[in-house]
């Protein structure tokens, strides 16, 4: 595994925040450049973040997981953080191939323990569907999977979340948020978190910096613009008899999806375990990292 000297402003800004023993890696895979941080030694644990975050959402648990005897890999998804903003390829199957090729390039060819939050969880679901023999254990944290629950919660007419439709709209959210990133994110994290203190001003500054890179807003919203296609792909697989053969842990924040995620997956995840993190909203890795780690440790082992 060869680390690189930071090449982008984003990489340079976060280099000093890497946990001890972790390094940054940029690899060309699946037709794009993917940035990740990696550390530790042992069987691989892969952590996939959500929007509007990057690998940094896992910063509180990277070193503890490595200390448990794992090689920990936390990529920036296509179009986010230090990864390139590709023109296309934001469907979750293509991003699963990004991750698969990244792991191959790092020499991590055995089954992995895969943890995905929010959009990262959608990518993790696709990875487990496409490469079932390569996933030892799957953790999905606070999301609704396209085709299995997402469509129900994205409809504001029935009490669902408004932002899915807005973020899916071509060009409009970029026009609205350009120059207003900090104001929006300050409001957003307060709304979606049960503990606003989980996002102090300095952390919001780092996230804002990652979104002010050229094309970064588009790179983030492109993840949403494929979700209906992602749902159709997942449903076609399930309707054809597909099931997740590995143990699955469905984690929800008490003040967010709660047990909804596990219930929505019962048809395609016969070995699913439910965990609800008390006093947490959507951003569990930031709000309740100790509780999340305590939940992950026995399941991953």
Annotation says 224 is catalytic:
yes
Q: What is the pLDDT along the chain (301 residues), one digit of tens a residue?
A: 444 554 555 666 677 789 999 999 999 999 999 999 999 999 999 999 999 999 999 999 999 999 999 999 999 999 999 999 999 999 999 999 999 999 999 999 889 999 999 999 999 999 999 999 999 999 999 999 999 999 999 988 888 899 999 999 999 999 999 999 999 999 999 999 999 899 999 999 999 999 998 899 999 999 999 999 999 999 999 999 999 999 999 999 999 999 999 999 999 999 999 999 999 999 999 999 999 999 999 999 9
Annotation says 148 is catalytic:
no
Look at residue 2 and tell me if it is in a domain: no
Catalytic option among 76, 93, 98, 118 = 118
Catalytic option among 35, 117, 255, 282 = 282
Look at residue 129 and tell me if it is in a domain: yes
Look at residue 236 and tell me if it is in a domain: yes
Look at residue 3 and tell me if it is in a domain: no
Number of domains in the chain: 1
What CATH number is associated with residue 47? 3.40.50.1820
**What is the DSSP secondary-structure string of the chain?**
-------SHHHHHHGGGPPTTEEEEEEEETTEEEEEEEEE-SEEEEEE--TT--GGGGTTTHHHHHHTTEEEEEEPPTTSTTS---SS--SHHHHHHHHHHHHHHTT--S-EEEEEETHHHHHHHHHHHH-GGGEEEEEEES--BTTBBHHHHT-GGGT--SHHHHHHSSSHHHHHHTT-HHHHHHHHHHHH-S-GGGS-HHHHHHHHHHHTSTTHHHHHHHHHHTHHHHHHHHHHHHHTT----S-EEEEEETTTTTTHHHHHTTTT-TTEEEEEETT--S-HHHH-HHHHHHHHHHHH-
Query: What is the extent of the structural domain holding 211?
Result: 9-300
pTM: 0.96
Look at residue 91 and tell me if it is in a domain: yes
Catalytic option among 10, 90, 224, 260 = 224
């Amino acid at each position: 595994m060869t680390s690189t000297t930071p090449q982008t402003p984003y990489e340079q800004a976060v280099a000093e925040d890497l946990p001890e023993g972790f390094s940054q890696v940029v690899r060309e895979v699946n037709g794009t450049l993917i940035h990740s941080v990696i550390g530790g030694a042992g069987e691989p644990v892969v952590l996939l973040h959500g929007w509007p975050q990057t690998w940094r959402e896992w910063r509180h648990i990277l070193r503890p997981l490595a200390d448990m005897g794992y090689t920990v890999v936390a990529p920036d998804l296509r179009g986010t953080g230090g990864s390139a903003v590709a023109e296309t390829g934001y469907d979750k199957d293509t991003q699963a191939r990004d991750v698969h090729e990244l792991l191959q390039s790092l020499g991590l060819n055995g089954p992995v323990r895969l943890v995905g939050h929010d959009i990262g969880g959608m990518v993790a679901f696709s990875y487990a569907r496409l490469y079932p023999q390569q996933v030892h254990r799957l953790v999905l944290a606070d999301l609704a999977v396209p085709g299995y629950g997402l469509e129900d919660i994205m409809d504001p007419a029935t009490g669902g979340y408004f932002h899915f439709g807005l973020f899916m709209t071509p060009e409009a959210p970029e026009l609205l948020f350009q120059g207003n990133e900090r104001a929006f994110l300050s409001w957003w994290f307060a709304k979606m978190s049960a503990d606003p203190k989980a996002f102090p001003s300095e952390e919001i500054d780092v996230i804002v910096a990652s979104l002010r890179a050229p094309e970064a807003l588009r790179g983030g919203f492109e993840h949403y613009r494929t979700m209906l296609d992602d749902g159709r792909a997942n449903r076609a697989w399930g309707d054809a008899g597909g099931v997740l053969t590995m143990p699955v842990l469905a984690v929800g924040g008490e003040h967010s999806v709660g047990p909804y995620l596990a219930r929505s997956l019962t048809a395609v995840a016969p070995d699913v375990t439910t965990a609800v993190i008390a006093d947490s909203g959507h951003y569990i890795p930031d709000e309740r990292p100790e509780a999340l780690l305590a939940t992950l440790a026995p399941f991953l082992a």
